[in-house]
Amino acid sequence: MTDALLAIGTRKGLILARSRDGGPFEVEPIQFSTVGVQSVAIDTRGETPRLLAGIEYGHFGPSVMYSDDLGASWHEADKPPVAFPEKTGATLEKVWQLLPSPSEPGVVWAGAEPGALFRSEDGGVTYTLVEGLWEHPHREQWQPGGGGLCMHTILAHPTDPKIMGVAVSTGGFYRSTDGGISWQAANQGIRAPFMPEGQQYPEFGQCVHKVAFHPSRPDRLFLQHHFGVYRSDDFGLSWTDIGTSLPSDFGFPVAVHPSKPDTVYVLPLHADMDRTPVGHRYRVYRSDDAGGSWQPLDSGLPEGPVYGTVLRDAMSTSEAGLYFGTRDGFVYGSRDDGQTWQEVARHLPDVLTVRSAVL
């Protein structure tokens, strides 16, 4: 039998949902109730899946928990698993992203606020700061976006551990080809219309919302910007606008189909000052030609009006399907590439992150 697992991080807890043999999802009781879960990962590299959760303890600060029994029990390192060295003078505010490395057994990456990358070599139990990025001369000039100075995207090359990319709001996209020792700003072609005339294509400082790629074509990246949707065919060295035919090029998530590298999904919102779905309908837009054209998909989604935002990490694709969660606490899923949708869960706290996997 094949199980699909859905992990939903919310403002007040973690919800796991399971489906057996393509059947409906059964939503389990909430875990970490009243605790914010900013990031989750489902690590299927070993014989036993490991769940990782970046949680916010409130007064006690953020941490990373792990479970090797699909959430039946959770564990935490004896010391703070993600912590800045004293010499940095920085304090961890959130763990925005957790990513098991596809090319290095036991390695897990963590993206943090304020704007930092951490590396674990023990499966996500403890982490160390990647000093090459922290010491980059641009870092002190990064400014926090509306969500904070968040390292929200990590892209690890599927076969070459030396190649990786990260995105920070509002620093932009950065790439490394030497395993994180040195980093290069990679934002050429991304317009920042909030900058003065003549300065709208800066080296860095772009408000990147999310970046995604397909492991079979790692040089091709898709990026949702604060003002625009872009594609790169050279791992970020240059970018092309692919959002002009969308009803709005403002939004937060972008996701790539699990087996079709040219199929990409976005969910447009009206504008930065009106962060509600276009037409007050949840419509996922799919491109099957790498952004050349877009098709709206909403069969099975509520007819509206709806006003909930879908956040940058709240859309996910895997062999288990395509899923997104909303800030008004609903989760929807599709198992036919977005052609039809079903409600998975309702009346949850604000959905911050969604991950899925076939077990």
DSSP three-state, residue 99: strand
Give long-range contacts, CB 8 A cutoff, 24+ apart: 45-54: 45/100, 45/105, 46/123, 49/5, 49/357, 49/359, 50/123, 50/124, 51/7, 52/98, 52/100, 52/108, 52/124, 53/7, 53/9, 53/14, 53/98, 54/9, 54/94, 54/95, 54/96, 54/97, 54/98, 54/110
Architecture of domain 4-358: 7 Propeller (2.130)
Whether 357 contacts 70, CB under 8 Å: no
Residue 2 pLDDT exceeds 80: no
The amino acid occupying position 277 is: P
Report whether pLDDT(1) > 60: no
Q: Residues 247-265: pLDDT tens digits?
A: 999 999 999 999 999 999 9
pLDDT tens track for 208-260: 999 999 999 999 999 999 999 999 999 999 999 999 999 999 999 999 999 99
Q: Pseudo-torsion of CA 216, 218, 224, 230, nearest 10°?
A: -100
Distance CA 110, CA 147 (A): 17
Q: Which parts of 184-288 fold into alpha helices (H)? A: none
Check pLDDT > 90 for residue 174: yes
- The pLDDT of residue 130 is 98
Query: Is-contact 152 210, C-beta < 8 A?
Result: yes
Put simply, whether the predicted model's pTM sits higher than 0.85 gets the answer yes
Average pLDDT, the chain: 96
- Residue that is written with structure tokens 């290095």 in the block: 104
Contacts of 301 (CB under 8 A, 6+ apart): 281, 282, 283, 332, 341
pLDDT digits (tens, 9 = 90+) for 92-111: 999 999 999 999 999 999 99
Beta strands at 342-345 and 295-297: parallel, antiparallel or unpaired: unpaired
Closest of 262, 259, 258 to residue 318, by C-alpha: 258
CB 86 within 8 A of CB 70: no
Mean pLDDT of 166-178: 96
Q: Mean pLDDT over residues 129-144, rounded?
A: 96
**125/78 Cα distance (integer angstroms):** 9
**In the chain, pLDDT over 70 holds for what percent of residues?**
100
Q: Give the whole-angstrom CA distance, residue 3 versus residue 357.
A: 9
